[in-house]
Amino acid sequence: MALSTKIPIIETQDLEKIYCLNGKKDKQGVEIKALNGVDIKIMPGEMVGIVGKSGSGKSTLMHIIGLLDQPTSGILKIDGKDVGREEPDKLASLRNKKIGFVFQSFNLLARASALDNVAMPLIYSGVPAREREEKARQLLEKVGLGNRVKNWPNQLSGGQQQRVAIARALANNPSLILADEPTGNLDTKSGDQIEEILQEIHRGGNTVVVVTHDTTLAKKCERVIYLKDGKVVSHV
């Protein structure tokens, strides 16, 4: 896919994230450097995999570029704007408009139907009820669950729950989809279906960033960033 602009949708410069195990920086504190000088650029329209062993820093990087956490130091830019030190309410607003999340554990509301789960982000965006319902139905149709709108999560298979989660991630028309181990809890057939849906979203023009241990999914990305010990060791 041709890239639509020379400005990266995501850019990090010398990004660091340090955790202190006892919550304090003192002589008794044990510091863990989860990210150690990470420099990456992700362009609009790319499908990029972030790969590394447990403890490599890939989930920490995902949380930071998804505006769920802030770096200890370094620069995080979204669409060319430094957002690493923005106030929490501004980050929340940007996150809701710009980014859709897909998690390994689905993170669906147990006491809500598939339709209501997908419509939830639209409530926070102030979309009227009738419009929310119509949009949620359309998105469930898009992921092949048009006949499951009234089902609760415990009435759906793991693959179906992940498809609901993907539909929810698309609710606010985000330009960026972040998927953290989206096939990690699924059987091979369901995982293949999720991979195809993510590729279809990418072909539709979205930027898709996938954190994964799944080598099959990683190979379907246009580019793979490998992390080790909090550092980028290669781009492929």
pLDDT above 90: residue 235: no
Instruction: Look at residue 2 in the predicted model and tell me its pLDDT.
Output: 46
CA distances to 57, 68, 92, 96, 205 from 160, in Å: 29, 25, 28, 23, 24
Task: Give pairs for 214-222: CB < 8 Å, separation 24+.
Answer: 214/181, 214/183, 214/184, 216/191, 217/49, 217/182, 217/183, 217/191, 218/49, 218/51, 220/47, 220/195, 221/47, 221/48, 221/49, 222/1, 222/46, 222/47, 222/48
pLDDT in tens, 99-132: 999 999 999 999 999 999 999 999 988 999 999 9
The predicted structure's pLDDT at residue 28: 61
Position with higher pLDDT, 210 vs 215:
210
CA distances from 60 to 15, 56, 71, 95, 127 (A): 11, 9, 9, 16, 32
What region does 168 belong to: left with phi over 0, alpha with psi -120 to 50, or beta?
A: alpha
The residue among 1 and 46 whose pLDDT is bigger is 46
Predicted local distance difference test score (pLDDT) of residue 48 = 97
Contact 114, 142 (CB under 8 A): no
pLDDT at res. 197: 96
pLDDT of residue 35: 96
**Whole-number pLDDT of residue 1:** 45
Provide the 8-state DSSP code for 223. Answer: E
- How many of the other CB atoms lie within 10 Å of CB of 17? 22
User: In this predicted structure, what is the pLDDT of residue 125?
Assistant: 87
Give the DSSP letter string of 174-191.
-SEEEEESTTTTS-HHHH
Question: Looking at residues 83-89, what average pLDDT do you find?
Answer: 87
List domains and CATH numbers for the chain.
10-235 (3.40.50.300)
pLDDT at residue 191 is higher than 80: yes
Mean pLDDT (the chain, rounded): 92
Residue 27's pLDDT band, with cuts at 50, 70 and 90, is: low
Structure tokens at 88: 């929490």
- Taking the C-alpha atoms of residue 152 and residue 150, their distance in angstroms, rounded to an integer, is 7
The lowest-confidence range among 13-27, 144-158, 187-201 is 13-27
Say if CB 74 and CB 15 are below 8 A apart: yes
Measured in whole angstroms, the distance separating CA 193 from the mean position of its chain's CA atoms is: 18
Give the pairing type, strands 99-103 and 176-180: parallel
Is residue 29 pLDDT above 70, yes or no? no
Residue 195 in this model has a pLDDT that exceeds 60:
yes
